Structure 1
Amino acid sequence: MTRHALAVRHVAFEDLGILGPVLAEHGFEVELLDAGIDRITAERLREPELVVVLGGPIGVSDTAAYPFLAAERSGLATRMQAGHPTLGVCLGAQLMASALGATVESTGRTEIGYAPLTLTAEGRHSVLAPLDGVPVLHWHGDQFAIPAGARRLAETPGFPNQAFALGDALLGLQFHLEGDHTQIERWLIGHAHELASAGIDPVAVREDAARHGPRLADAARLVFDAWIDTALPAD
């Protein structure tokens, strides 16, 4: 039986990546909404069996410049109050955290490139367990606080809150587990100005994608498989 998933995308090249084929393998047909173009309402976000909110180069508080963010946040709040399976990546995780009442703020610095996480004790016993010791793709400057009642799952030296889970159905990831290393050139081109401003050499990111990407892809699939099976157990 085909199941319905909805993905909210903020910039074209930050897409489902590795997650797309995993959803298909689990029987999901994915509907894609482009934020700022397609209308996003609480009804649209509440109805699907699974929702994924992807990343983007804007901040949760940028609602004056990007008014659609307010509708996303409100819709996510309605969905999460009902406990429906929801995955947020980077901006998506920040929107989830904000909708759950947690603070999201700029750090004034960036974390960009491939680097390992440190899993917390709870993280090592969570769906993120396959990521232990695996460099993941970071690309952010903002950070979220852990929402009330949620479990903190991972950290890095500069960003102590890298992932949270609330129950089995809600998962927020600050890092880009979905990022496909074979498509990294799209990121390097799309974020060229940010890389230059941060003094980050795209050659180094490209080389790290080739070095770490295949192992990360394998681990990411295990994480996504485990989360889907946990959030939406088979009848």
Structure 2
Amino acid sequence: MTEKVALVTGAARGIGLATTKLFIEEGYRVVMVDRDGDELAAASKGINSALPLNLDISAPEQVDEMIERTQAHFGRLDALVNNAGVADFGPIEGTDFKRWRTVMETNLDGVFLCSQAATPLLKQSKGAIVNIASISGLRASTLRVAYGTSKAAVIHLTEQLAAELGEYGIRANCVAPGPVRTKLAMAVHTQDIIDAYHDAIPLNRYGSEDEIANVIVFLCSPKASYVTGQLISVDGGFESTGIGLPSLRSG
């Protein structure tokens, strides 16, 4: 089989699903990984060029299974998109160690486990890794002690991967989305928060899932063949405008 293969974690919804669909438009076969079995079944229905795997990337044995089944089904892997993440926001005093570890297990440990397990296949294809961080990993804000820290670590982990795996032709880059108009975000963001984000973002709007997916797929493509170890903020200029939003501050 000569068709390229991409593996996307957190593929059942949002940015992961948008990225999956764009890869397929570009002629890839896609391994869709998600721990929400019902959402994954619904998202993958009718996508004949996808292999849905209901697995948890925070569990080492399930990550090993993910790679084994990818190799058995497709025989290769050209791109790994570490998108799966836990969005848990709360004050420092309300973040007990269990809550901290729950965020780290998926947002950081999962990225490490998937990248490590996929490396042998990516060596064969001289493939690409794209990690999904967040603008919260670049600029501090209240209520994000675990989430923001995990995403900052992902940014540095990306540089470590690029530095070590470059000699095998593997490229590793990172995308940091800013506010994105997902169903989840729109369900929890009050109008006050929406207005505050619009005021703080130079492009004056939220991004879309497809806009994030476009950058991810580009970084996995031959058009980015000399791009590695880089962080691209896809945020409408949000990072350039200062720290924090009044609407998101407690008290």
After TM superposition, the score normalised by the length of structure 2 is 0.46
Higher helix share: 2
More strand by share: 1
Pair member with larger Rg: 2
